[in-house]
Amino acid sequence: MLQHHRPSLPVVKLTIKDEEMAEVIRASMSEGSRRGTPKIVTFFKGPGLKSLGFSIVGGRDSPKGNMGIFVKTVFPSGQAADDGTLQAGDEIIEINGTSVQGMSHAETIALFKNVREGAIVLKVLRRKLQKAKSMGA
């Protein structure tokens, strides 16, 4: 049996800090949050292609309560890192034209998995967050 050997590469995660993710979540749930302009990001799935290269958090079943679907981590070895458009903290609002608003985390993952080969077109929002003022002296 022919086996393919891939050289092992160090795995480095580019992760948004927990405090920053909490701020993104709070902003997404705040009526006063300023939404950015939606961006379209396209990736492709299929034999011989790199993984999409990101993880998500959120959904109506989130331990933090009903919330949107957010990019948690962008992995350096995937398409998202190569493209550079998707960032940790971005909110995914559509996958291939299907709104993810009100979906559970598992339902959203299923949308990604249902595409075995072809385009994955995401509509994403990047929040314009205002930095909290430091209370240091």
Distance CA 65, CA 71 (A): 17
The answer to whether position 62 is within a domain reads yes
The proportion of the chain whose per-residue pLDDT surpasses 70, expressed as a percent, equals 67
pLDDT given at position 52: 97
Would you call 55 exposed, middle or buried from its count of C-beta atoms within 10 A (0-12, 13-18, 19+)? middle
Phi, then psi, of 120 in degrees rounded to 5: -115, 110
Half-sphere exposure of 64 (CA within 13 A, CB side): 17
Q: What are the tens digits of pLDDT across the range 22-31?
A: 555 555 544 4
Nearest to 108 by CA among 68, 75, 52, 65: 68
The answer to whether position 35 is within a domain reads no
Distance CA 81, CA 75 (A): 6
The answer to whether position 63 is within a domain reads yes
**Max Cα–Cα distance, the chain, nearest Å:** 67
Given a cut of 70, whether residue 44 has pLDDT beyond it is: yes
The answer to whether position 87 is within a domain reads yes
13 falls in which pLDDT band (50, 70, 90)?
very low
Q: How many domains does the chain have?
A: 1
Q: Which CATH number characterizes residue 110's domain?
A: 2.30.42.10
pLDDT given at position 37: 83
| Mean pLDDT in residue range 17-38 | 57
Distance CA 135, CA 128 (A): 21
Instruction: List the domain range (segments joined by +) for residue 71.
Output: 14-28+40-125
The answer to whether position 103 is within a domain reads yes
pLDDT given at position 25: 55
The answer to whether position 33 is within a domain reads no
Q: What are the tens digits of pLDDT across the range 82-97?
A: 999 999 999 999 999 9
Given a cut of 50, whether residue 132 has pLDDT beyond it is: no
DSSP 57: E
pLDDT given at position 127: 76
**Placement of tokens 């009903």 in the chain:** 66
63 falls in which pLDDT band (50, 70, 90)?
confident
The answer to whether position 91 is within a domain reads yes
